[in-house]
Structure formats: C-alpha cells, structure tokens
Amino acid sequence: MSKRYFPEAGLPVMLTALALVLCNAGESRAQEGTPQDIPDAIVRKVDPSVVAIQHERAVGSGFVISPDGYILSNGHVVRGNDPDDPSQPAKSIVVIMSDERKFPAKVVGFCMNPDVSLLKIEVDTPLEPVEFADSKQAQIGQKCFAVGTPQGLKRTFTSGMLSNVTRTDLGTFTAVLQTDAAINPGNSGGPLFDREGRVLGINTYASRGSNNLGFTIPSHVVQVLRDHFMAYGHFVRSDVPIFFASEIYDELGRALQFKQGVLVNYIMKGSSAEKAGLRQGDILVAIDGKPVAARTQAEMLDINWDFTIRKPGTSITLAVMRGVPGAYEEVALRAVLEETEPKPATRRWPGEQKIHQYETLGLKYYDIVKLQRVYLGLPDVPGVIVKGAGKNSPAAKADLKASQIITAVEGEPVGDVASFESALEKAMAAHDKVIVLDIQAGKLRFKTALAPFYDLAEQKIAIIASSPQSEYLDLIRRELLADGAQLSISFLEDAEAYTAQPPVPMTGIKGEDIDILLLLDGSGGTPIWENEEILRIVREANAAEKKLTAVGSAALALIAADEALLEKKMTTSKQHSGEAVRRKARYTGNEVEKDGNVLTTTGFDRDTVREFIKQLRAYR
C-alpha cells in the first residue's frame, strides 16, 4: 500500500466511507419489499435448488423438487434428436449442482407441449427442494425473478415482473405466464420465483418457427405433469369431447342468444365426442354437474386442461343445450375419456408421432392419426402419409411429396406403417426393378413407381445378433434390405421369436461364403464375444479377407477371435471400452471407426448407427 493513496487524512475518509456503506446496507434492509430489490436472503435460499443440465447436444437449467433427487426442467432440454422416435430423451445427461457436484441423470418422463421434463439423480445426502407458489393466483405486475445457467456462465439472476398471466397465442397447450425478466437460451428449464422464493413456473426459451420467445409454464401445470411422469412415464392426454369447442365470446353469445357454456364447433369422426352423441352446434353447459363456461381463449384452455389431464377410461356426464337460438332444450349425455393418439406436428412444434424412414430410398412416412386428417384435409382412405422425399432419392424420382397418402404397394392395399413396410420389403427382397405405388393426393389418385438403386445387390451380408431384441437390428435390416443386400439373420438365442424373416442357424454359416459380417450386441445372455461359433465365423471371414463390422460391444468379438485383428483401429460402446483396452485393442473411441476391412461403431444412438450404415454402404 503506497502512501500516495492513503494521505494523512486517509483514515477519517475511510471510516466515513465505511459508515456510509453500512448505512446504505441498513437502508436497503429497511427497504425490503420495495420494487427494486429481491431480498438477498431469498436469493441465497433458492440458489442451491437450481441446477445446470447438460447432455451431448444442449445445455439448460432445472430445479430440485425433492430431497431424494427429482428435478424439473423443460422437455426440449432433455429430448433426444432422433426424428424416428421423438419420445426418446438424450442419451447421457449430467446434472451440475450449485456446488459443482455432477450427477448422471435419468429422464423419468418428458413432453414437448407442455414443455416439461422430470429427471432423477441418485444422491447420498438430501438436497434442498423448492416450494411451489399457487400460479393460479399469479397477478399481473407481481415481482418475480428468474434463475438459470445460461451459456456457460455459472448462474444468473434476472428480475422483472409478470407482464401477463394468460398468454394463449404462443401455440402452447395451456395459457402461460409472460415476464420481462430476461430469459435466454441457457435459462430454459429454470425456475421463475416470486418474491417469497416460491416457484411460479418453469422458464422456457424457445425458438418456435421464426420467433424466439420466452415464457413461463405455470407451476400448476408443471405439477400435474410431474405426477403423470411419475405414474406413467409420459403425459397421458385424454381425448376430450370438447377438443373442437370454442369459447362463447360476446358477439357469439348474442347471436346464439346464450351466453354461458362453450360451443361445440365440430365433431371429428371416431372421436369420443362422436361416441358420446355430441353434435355440432351443441352448447356444453356442465360437466359432471359443475357448470362450465368460457368467454376467452384463456378460459377455454383452462377447461380443456382440466379434462385432458383426467385419467382415460373415466366416465363423465355432459349437459348440453341443443336446438336453435332462442329455443334450446337441455340434453344429458355420457362420455368416456380415451387416451389420444400421438399428436401430429404443427407449424410450431415437432409433434409426438414416430417418423419412419428408409434413408436409402429417401422416404419418410408415418401412420395417419384422425387429427392429421383434419389438419391436412385428407380424405378417409387408409394408408401411410409421406412426410418427405430426400433430394435426388428414389422417392423424389417417384414424384412422392409430403402429405400424399400411399394406399397400395404393387396393387396390395396398405393400411398402416406395418403393412406398408412388409409389402415394400417383399418387393425389395426380390430386387423388383420398380415398385408400383398407388397415391392419393387430396382428392386425386394416380400411380407412380419407386425404383430403388439396390447399391448392395451383390453383397451377401450375414447379420448375427444376440437376440431378436437387439437394439438396432430392425433399423439395420430395413436399410440394408432397401439397398438390395442379400441378408441372412442369425441369433445366439431366442431365434424362434423372430418373425421378420426366417433366421439361419449359425452353424450353417461359413466365413468365406459371405461378403460382410455384421455383429450386433444385446443386453443380457451370453456375451457375444464368448460364443465359439461366432469366433469361428470371424476367423474364417477374416482369413478370406471379408468385411467385418460390429455394433457396440459386439466389436469385442472381432478382437477376441483373431489376434491379427488387434492391429486394426476399432471402437466399441463406452461401457466396454475398458475391456477393449485390457485386451490391447487399438481402441479409438470414435463414434464410427473404419480400418481396412474392419468397421465398428459405438452404437451410441440411432444417428451414430445411421452413420455406420452409410460407411458400410461404401463397401459395395
């Protein structure tokens, strides 16, 4: 400390300054409850409950809701990126506590709309859970603050007020809260607290369509979802008889000469509303004896929510006014709630439907759900819907376009994905040069032909899997079939359970007779690398310089079979990497590894396996 900075008069100045600071501190405590500050004590109290969530592709925030480790966040923070199966979460999720302890997390359940997820970590010491506020009592203008872990910063606190408590125009399933407290990408999944430090909702930062928006899912909605995830593992929606009903706004009430209730606009064929006997034009006035009325969209969404979350199978009574304006009669009906079909994608969110694809053919397609027919204006013909055709692919050359329905394959009607795939695969196994498809486009019908390239037509591929339950067996088989490969499939166990094509006993396989050997692991049972038959086949194939390929732990069979293969670079699943190293394999840890005639993959997720298939195709 230099004398220059502390002149003789220094000490008195310092003391004065200190006094001023202390006074201010005292002053701010006295100001507790004024608009400017969130109380320090509250901030410190909630801090330990807020966590950061990371996985291979995204980061977000979350918060602890039980001492034993249940954590809430947004659905989009934990979702996987497999378009084939949107119900799959990301693979390796890590939760980071405020004190930097890290825990692997399991997803108990998640949903994209409402955008909520529930995770579980295993802890030794109890955690600090949050308290929930009653979001139904939230007031516009109320002070609140958001906590999150945006973009790599440790954590941030932003504060503001509730700008709106009933935003219904963002394409969300329920009304949401709007705050001017800054919400940015990393805050997603973090809590919005009120001034007492109780959770008003989950902050959601979303890029929907071309908008970047921040909104908060109210805690009363979040808690219901938590209960669903814990009980069922997913959000079970009931098909509500009032799905196509709307609020009775002022003018509508005057025109109908009836101001209470909700108006039934449309009855979808096959819906529970139809089964209950509801008719277009009915005014629903009570459910289970309790009056029901909505004048605004927010009220409508609330009613919708109350019934969607009820258990499917529940029976409810409906009281409707039926007739013409000025002459209504009350009619009593009974409806049974059913679970809805997976919701199709809309402009704003990806939907819950599984998209199927043959990447080789460039064709994406899915089953038709009733709601989809209404959204897309499709006629009531059975078939599968084309989602899209990849550029320059056989599907594009067949002039297939999104929203077309494929109604028959080679003259055989197909009513769903299963029958479509079965018919298509029969034709591809026979290497049909063209596969004639019947198409329904809007009200028009025509025929077209799919001409697969059959790049692997010359290749005899022997697939050997632990069991028919091997994770990627179906995916690999379908893509290789679409490529025209001659496939034989064998199993270590449970061969009788496999129905897609007759399995071949391993004893009949000679390594020199095949072109490509493909080994797939599976959980349980004998490890694939300890089976003598498999090791024999690997040795024979390697001696004949055939291609050896393996997914996940099955890669160990290659190095176990032949010492010469230890020279080749390879990869395997993370859990088995230790074993690979122990056996002195050239383990690289890459997702897909190719070295001469050896091609291996970790089999981490479907994307990785698709990359593996792409590289396998290069062997043609």
- Would you name the residues annotated as active-site residues? 76, 115, 188
Helix residue spans in 159-290 (DSSP H): 219-232, 250-256, 272-276
| Pairing outcome for strands 444-450 and 315-324 | unpaired
149 vs 178, which CB is nearer to other proteins? 178
Query: DSSP assignment, residue 18?
Result: H
Q: How far apart are CA 528 and CA 69, in angstroms?
A: 36
Alpha carbons within 13 A on the beta-carbon side of 183:
30
Per CB under 8 A, 213 contacts other proteins: no
Give the nearest distance from C-beta 169 to other proteins in angstroms. Answer: 5
Burial of 91 (C-beta count, 10 Å sphere; 0-12/13-18/19+): middle
Does 386 bind other proteins (CB under 8 A)? Our answer is no
Residue 142 or 448 having the CB closest to other proteins: 448
What residue ranges in 57-141 does DSSP mark as E strands? 59-64, 70-73, 93-96, 102-112, 115-120, 131-132
Q: How far is CA 72 from each of CA 56, 222, 351, 513, rounded to the nearest angstrom?
A: 19, 8, 21, 54
Residue 378 CB, shortest distance to other proteins, in Å, is 8
Which CB, 29 or 445, lies closer to other proteins?
Answer: 445
Sort strands 131-132 and 143-148 into parallel, antiparallel or unpaired.
unpaired
Work out which of 59, 107, 121, 263 binds other proteins, going by CB under 8 A: 263
Distance CA 273, CA 279 (A): 8
249 binds other proteins (CB under 8 A): yes
Q: What is the C-alpha radius of gyration for the chain, rounded to an integer number of angstroms? A: 30
Neighbours of 357 (CB within 10 A): 22
CA 32, CA 30: separation in Å to the nearest integer?
6
Stretch that binds other proteins, among 48-56, 70-78, 205-213, 392-400 (CB under 8 A): 392-400
Q: Does 208 bind other proteins (CB under 8 A)?
A: no
Name the one range near other proteins by CB under 8 A: 155-163, 360-368, 371-379, 384-392.
371-379
Stretch that binds other proteins, among 89-97, 249-257, 359-367, 471-479 (CB under 8 A): 249-257
Determine which residue in the list 154, 254, 431, 574 makes contact with other proteins, applying CB under 8 A.
Answer: 254
Check: CB of residue 299 under 8 Å from CB of residue 263. Answer: no
Cβ atoms 587, 63 nearer than 8 A? no
Give dist(CA 328, CA 206) in Å, integer.
Answer: 45
Interacting stretch for other proteins, rule CB under 8 A, among 201-209, 243-251, 550-558, 606-614? 243-251
Q: How many residues bind other proteins (CB under 8 A)?
A: 42
Q: Based on CB atoms, which residue is closest to other proteins, 280 or 575?
A: 280
Helix (H, G, I), strand (E, B) or coil at 305: helix
Q: Select the residue interacting with other proteins from 220, 373, 576, 606 (CB under 8 A).
A: 373
> Does the footprint of other proteins cover residue 168 (CB under 8 A)?
yes
Instruction: Using the minimum distance from each CB to other proteins, give the nearer residue, 193 or 358.
Output: 358
Is there binding between residue 246 and other proteins (CB under 8 A)?
Answer: yes
Shortest Å distance, C-beta 247 to other proteins: 8
Query: Applying CB under 8 A, which of residues 256, 318, 389, 534 lies at the interface with other proteins?
Result: 256
Q: Hey, what amino acid is at 170? A: L
**Which one, 126 or 442, has the nearer CB to other proteins?**
442
Largest pairwise CA distance in the chain: 102
260 binds other proteins (CB under 8 A): no
Sheet bearing 547-551, strands edge to edge: 486-491, 460-465, 516-520, 547-551, 598-601, 592-595
Decide if residue 524 touches other proteins (CB under 8 A): no
| Stretch binding other proteins (CB under 8 A), from 124-132, 153-161, 358-366, 437-445 | 437-445
Taking residues 264 to 303 in sequence order and writing x for each that binds other proteins by CB under 8 A, - otherwise, the string is: -xx-x-----------xx--------------xx------
Selected binder of other proteins within 35, 442, 589, 596 (CB under 8 A): 442
Q: Is 164 in the site for other proteins (CB under 8 A)?
A: no
Q: Which residue carries 């981490």 as its tokens?
A: 604
Taking CB under 8 A as the binding criterion, the range among 35-43, 305-313, 394-402, 463-471 that sits at the site for other proteins is: 394-402
Q: Which stretch binds other proteins (CB under 8 A): 55-63, 217-225, 429-437, 566-574?
A: 429-437
Whose tokens are 């819906």? That residue is 271
Could you say which of 222, 398, 528, 559 contacts other proteins (CB under 8 A)? Answer: 398
Residue 93, C-beta contacts closer than 8 angstroms, at least 6 positions apart: 53, 54, 55, 78, 104, 105, 106, 107, 119
Cis before 114 (ω within 30): yes
**How does DSSP assign 385-444, residue by residue?**
EEEEE-TTSHHHHTT--TT-EEEEETTEE--SHHHHHHHHHHHHHTT-S-EEEEEEETTE
Tell me the pairing of strands 290-291 and 598-601.
unpaired
Residues 169-188: x/- map of binding to other proteins (CB under 8 A)?
x-------------------
Nearer to other proteins, 372 or 459 (CB): 372
Q: How far apart are the first and last CA of the chain?
A: 77
Nearer to other proteins, 161 or 374 (CB): 374
Which residues are CB-contacts of 477 (< 8 A; sequence separation ≥ 6)?
Answer: 463, 487, 489, 500
**Residues 320-349: x where in contact with other proteins by CB under 8 A, - otherwise, as a string:** ----xx------------------------
Q: What angle do CA 328, 331, 332 make, to 5 degrees?
A: 155
Q: Give the residue, chosen from 259, 397, 569, 583, that forms a contact with other proteins under the rule CB under 8 A.
A: 397
Which parts of 444-483 interact with other proteins (CB under 8 A)?
444-451
- Closest distance of CB 76 from other proteins, Å: 23
Report the residue number, 326 or 508, with the smaller CB distance to other proteins: 326
The reply on whether position 377 binds other proteins by CB under 8 A is yes
User: Which residues make up the interface to other proteins (CB under 8 A)?
Assistant: 168-169, 244, 246, 249-252, 254-256, 263, 265-266, 268, 280-281, 296-297, 324-325, 373-375, 377-378, 397-399, 433-434, 436, 442-451
